A and B are shown apart, each in its own frame.
Chain A
Amino acid sequence: MTLHLSTEDTDLLAGHAGPGPAMALRVVAEAARLLGAKRLVPIVSAHIDGCLYHGDSGVFFAERLVALGARVSVPATLNVGALDLMHPEIVRGDAHHETMSRRLMEAHLALGCTASWTCAPYQAGHRPALGTQVAWGESNAVAFVNSVLGARSNRYGDFLDLCCAIAGRAPYCGLHLSENRRAAMVLDITGLSEALRREEAFYPVLGALLGGVAGGEVAAIIGVPSNIGEDALKALGAGAAARGAVGLFHVVGVTPEAPDLETALQGQSPARTFKVTAEDVRAARDSLSTAQTTDGSLDCVALGSPHFSLEECRALAAFAADRRFQIPVYVCTGRHVMARLAAEDLESRLTACGVTFVVDTCVVVTPILKGVSGTMMTNSAKFAHYGRANTGYGTVFGSLKDCADSAVAGRIVRDEAIWR
């Protein structure tokens, strides 16, 4: 398959807009060739997951683009970095790591990216319209922008998301094309109790189950209540994208490309239907608990992957009810939420309970937790998935209420009744 470049593309490659955009487009065009795309497609938005430090070369790459005069040509938010710029003292790390992380973050700002520092940019005002072409990185953000907003992105990663944002183009293949957005399989949850399907903690678990069942396939889920909230959809997508290569799912009657099952299937028959049982749900829930704990001991609670919303902070405050936490409780969130928390006096109330706010980053990508082993309770499928490998902490999955009650008790407290 040959890549066809437009006149505008070849002008950009020839350096008509300067050497920075030309370098970015060379990378995008090479990626398009590797992916087998026939052409490039203009994009209107980008979310860039390039600010975690993996080595000096990534810093030099971003600084090279700055030196060549590159700028992003579409609105481009930034994912988390490896520093909490608002509370730098909570991050443990060596001086080189800190210097290079800061240079990486500054280079991205110099390229014109927005200082959003969040893995939930869609809750910080970055919401591209239905049907628009975008280039987003960070697996949960990709799942959300495709599934919940109905914008079109492949699963972009290091370097390519940034180059697409500068070039204003992406390889036209995969989920950018309508036919590849068709649901190939159905995940049927109508056999589960209504109470379970109304439970917030069910959705990250359903996400983990979806990721395991669907892998990289697009699934349509039937049986989700039509009034499901955005935070539940966020948790569903994050769990699915952590466990499997899920970039898009449809929730029939809820998400914009699935007003009904036939539309999600684009009029074709599904290759398979997976009927979810209560046993499947409990098995998926248990797969999110990796800690080998028998005595109920607990070292911390970690919340906010993806970054906690204002509503989730309100819910935590309601469950905590001004009780004092006996163990550290980390709430990872973005600046967009911190500003609102202060206005509602929630920051001081939650801090008084014992919450440590982690802003611009999170406890699983940045060394913040004490020591290198322990047990962490979380209501996030994504923290549960990456917790042990990235922090050494084993995980215990629980609802947000379980997390608050456990923090107050200083040991694991779980309400099993919601899972029946």
Chain B
Amino acid sequence: MRLAAQTLIDGRGAGEVLKLGAPISFWGGVDPASGRITAAPHPDHGAGIAGRVLVLPATIGSSSSSAILLELLRIGQAPAALILAEADAILTLGVVVAQEMGYTTIPVLCAPLAPFATGQHARIAPGGAIEIFPPT
């Protein structure tokens, strides 16, 4: 399946889809050293976000989430791409700062989330073109 998404940060990325079952705050909810979800009551508790195409229903909580994403980008434990239901300036700012710091960055897109499911593979091309492949 192909989708055209709005790009917040343009770029290329591919990986296995992880669609979160609930909103998350990266600060206090994702371990900045490993990229694992540590938020205790979260349905995806324990899942790793590194290298995944992370599909987020919403972000909540602290503005320090941008700092956690920046740290994940620096150490190579960030998702391969972020797909958001609505534009989020806080998380995306972490990628903007990563660009300034010369770290490898990732695409951040806004798209309807219905076509996505955990276990699919997704590939993002510049300009916001997303290809979704069924689980193998």
Which residues on A are within 8 Å of B, measured CB to CB?
23, 26-27, 30-31, 34-36, 49, 52, 54-58, 60-61, 64, 137, 155-160, 389-390
Contact = CB atoms under 8 A, between A and B. Distances in A.
B83 to A, nearest CB: 15
Contacts of A60: 74, 101
B92 A61 contact: no
Nearest to A386: B28
Contact of A34 (B32, B63, B92, B98): B92
A55 B63 contact: no
B101 A64 contact: yes
B89 A55 contact: no
A35 B101 contact: no
A57 B71 contact: yes
Q: What are the nearest 9 A-B pairs in CB distance?
A: A157-B63, A55-B71, A57-B74, A54-B67, A34-B89, A158-B67, A30-B96, A57-B70, A57-B71
Instruction: Classify the secondary structure of A's interface with B.
Output: helix
Interface in B70-93: 70-71, 73-74, 87, 89-90, 92-93
Contact of A156 (B63, B68, B92, B97): B63
A81 to B, nearest CB: 14
B96 A31 contact: yes
8 contacts: A34-B87, A34-B92, A55-B74, A58-B70, A60-B101, A61-B97, A64-B100, A137-B63
A333 B74 CA distance: 34
Given A34-B87, A35-B89, A54-B27, A158 B100 contact: no
A245 B77 CA distance: 29
B111 interface: no
Given A54-B32, A160-B93, 6 more contacts: A30-B96, A31-B93, A57-B70, A57-B98, A61-B100, A158-B66
Contacts of A26: 100
Given A27-B100, A34-B87, A57-B74, A155 B93 contact: no
Nearest to B108: A34
A165 B97 CA distance: 16
Contacts of A31: 89, 93, 96
Contacts of A155: 63
Interface in B42-86: 62-64, 66-68, 70-71, 73-74
A55 B97 contact: no
B24 interface: no
Contacts of A58: 67, 70-71
A36 B28 CA distance: 28
A54 B64 contact: yes
Contact of A27 (B63, B68, B87, B96): B96
B40 to A, nearest CB: 8
Contacts of A160: 66, 93
B101 A57 contact: yes
Given A23-B100, A31-B96, A55 B8 contact: no
Contacts of B90: 157
Given A34-B87, A34-B93, A55 B70 contact: yes
Query: Which of A30, A36, A64: most chain B CB closer than 10 A?
Result: A30
A55 B68 contact: yes
A247 to B, nearest CB: 11
B68 A157 contact: no
A209 to B, nearest CB: 19
Contacts of B100: 23, 26-27, 61, 64
Nearest to A158: B67
B85 to A, nearest CB: 15
B70 A61 contact: yes
B27 to A, nearest CB: 7
Contact of B66 (A35, A36, A52, A159): A159
A60 B71 CA distance: 10
A58 to B, nearest CB: 5
B89 A56 contact: no
A160 B103 CA distance: 18
Contacts of A156: 63
B93 A55 contact: no
A97 B53 CA distance: 31
A52 B28 contact: no
Nearest to A55: B71
A164 to B, nearest CB: 12
